[in-house]
């Protein structure tokens, strides 16, 4: 399957909602956190595969602005995951020339999370390979609201005319200002929604859903999603070429 994928068009940017960790654990009679740990292994496998096939950007939804509603013990565990992941993986990621980035309200995460992730951002900032972009404390609506605020402030300071506000200008105020919109969204676990993820950026993204839970999601499933993407006809509102 790898060879088949490599013969086709490789999406530049793939976004992933890593969903189903909790259910994976519950079905095995394990605590939910065991599901998140298993999900971290999947993350490692998928990053390796994305790098192998030449995807340029992977964005992973790791923690949403709505995830604070979870019990405090789970939130606290999730806040330690980036540290744990980076402790295990950072050396390999640096060797692979990976650039780590984040989107979201990063500054309002616990200090220990900010410290660990900032260190990874710094240590990979001069790399030139695959961009691994983590959405941490991210919400699509909050992102658009924040961008609108920035633009409004510029208008209030007379630095910008309201007539100059267009889609490009607004997009230039989003967290994703320096990366292209996703070509493909993958959501495992059987949920058929986008859950406030990259709302603006997904206007023309191809969506791929599977019932497989994230900890069970393997390289072959990822390649299957890419193969399916390669069969799609993307018209971006236009007509067939
Ligand atoms: C959704 O499953 C998953 C999360 C909220 C956390 C995802 C995080 C990881 C896989 C760890 C890696 C993260 C970093 C930044 C290295 P769920 O708990 O909503 O599952 P459920 O819907 O079955 O309950």
Least Cα distance to 178 among 29, 75, 94, 57 occurs for 57
List alpha helices for 172-209, DSSP H: none
- The alpha carbon of 181 and the centre of ligand 1 are apart by a number of angstroms equal to 22
Query: Quick check: is 174 in a domain?
Result: yes
Low-confidence ranges of the chain (pLDDT < 70): none
Query: Quick check: is 69 in a domain?
Result: yes
Phi/psi region, residue 159 (left: phi>0; alpha: psi -120 to 50; beta: rest), is alpha
132 lines ligand 1 (CB under 6 A): no
**Residue owning the nearest CA to atom 24 of ligand 1:** 22
What's residue 240's pLDDT? 83
- The alpha carbon of 78 and the centre of ligand 1 are apart by a number of angstroms equal to 8
Q: What is the pTM of this model?
A: 0.97
134 lines ligand 1 (CB under 6 A): yes
What's residue 241's pLDDT? 73
What does R_g of the chain's alpha carbons equal in angstroms? 18
What range defines the domain where residue 25 resides?
A: 2-131+166-230
What's residue 37's pLDDT? 96
Query: Quick check: is 136 in a domain?
Result: no
101 lines ligand 1 (CB under 6 A): no
- The alpha carbon of 206 and the centre of ligand 1 are apart by a number of angstroms equal to 22
Residues 6 or more apart whose Cβ sits within 8 Å of residue 124: 93, 94, 98, 99, 100
Query: Quick check: is 48 in a domain?
Result: yes
Tell which atom from ligand 1 comes closest to the C-alpha of 39: 10
Annotation marks residue 19 as catalytic: yes
Query: Quick check: is 155 in a domain?
Result: no
Least Cα distance to 129 among 57, 45, 42 occurs for 57
Integer Cα distance of 39 and 161 in angstroms: 47
Query: Quick check: is 116 in a domain?
Result: yes
Query: What domain count does the chain have?
Result: 1
What's residue 180's pLDDT? 98
Which CATH number goes with the domain that contains 78? 3.40.1180.10
Query: Quick check: is 88 in a domain?
Result: yes
22 lines ligand 1 (CB under 6 A): yes
Cβ 110 vs Cβ 68: under 8 Å:
no
**Across the chain, where does the E strand assignment appear?**
13-17, 57-64, 99-103, 131-138, 184-187, 206-209
Tell which atom from ligand 1 comes closest to the C-alpha of 134: 15
Integer Cα distance of 85 and 120 in angstroms: 11
Strand, helix or coil for residue 93: helix
Phi/psi region, residue 232 (left: phi>0; alpha: psi -120 to 50; beta: rest), is beta
Query: Quick check: is 157 in a domain?
Result: no
Strand, helix or coil for residue 172: coil
């Amino acid at each position: 399957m790898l060879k088949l994928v490599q013969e086709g068009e490789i999406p530049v940017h793939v976004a992933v909602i890593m969903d189903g960790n909790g259910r994976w654990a519950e079905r095995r009679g394990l605590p939910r956190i065991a599901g998140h740990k298993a999900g971290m292994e999947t993350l490692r496998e998928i990053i390796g595969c994305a790098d192998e096939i030449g995807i340029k950007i992977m964005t992973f939804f790791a923690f949403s602005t709505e995830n604070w509603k979870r019990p405090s013990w789970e939130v606290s565990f999730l806040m330690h995951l980036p540290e744990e992941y980076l402790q295990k993986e950072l050396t390999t990621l640096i060797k692979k020339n990976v650039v780590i980035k984040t989107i979201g309200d990063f500054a309002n995460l616990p200090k220990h999370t900010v410290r660990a992730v900032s260190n990874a951002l710094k240590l990979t900032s001069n790399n030139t390979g695959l961009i691994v972009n983590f959405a941490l404390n991210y919400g699509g609506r909050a992102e658009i609201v924040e961008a609108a605020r920035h633009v409004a402030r510029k208008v209030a300071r007379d630095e910008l005319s309201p007539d100059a506000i267009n889609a490009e200008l607004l997009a230039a105020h989003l967290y994703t200002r320096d990366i292209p919109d996703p070509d493909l969204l993958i959501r495992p676990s059987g949920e058929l929604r986008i859950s406030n993820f990259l709302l603006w950026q997904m206007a023309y993204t191809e969506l791929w859903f599977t019932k497989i839970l994230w900890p069970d999601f393997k390289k072959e499933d990822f390649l299957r999603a890419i193969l399916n993407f390669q069969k799609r006809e993307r018209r971006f509102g236009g007509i067939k070429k």
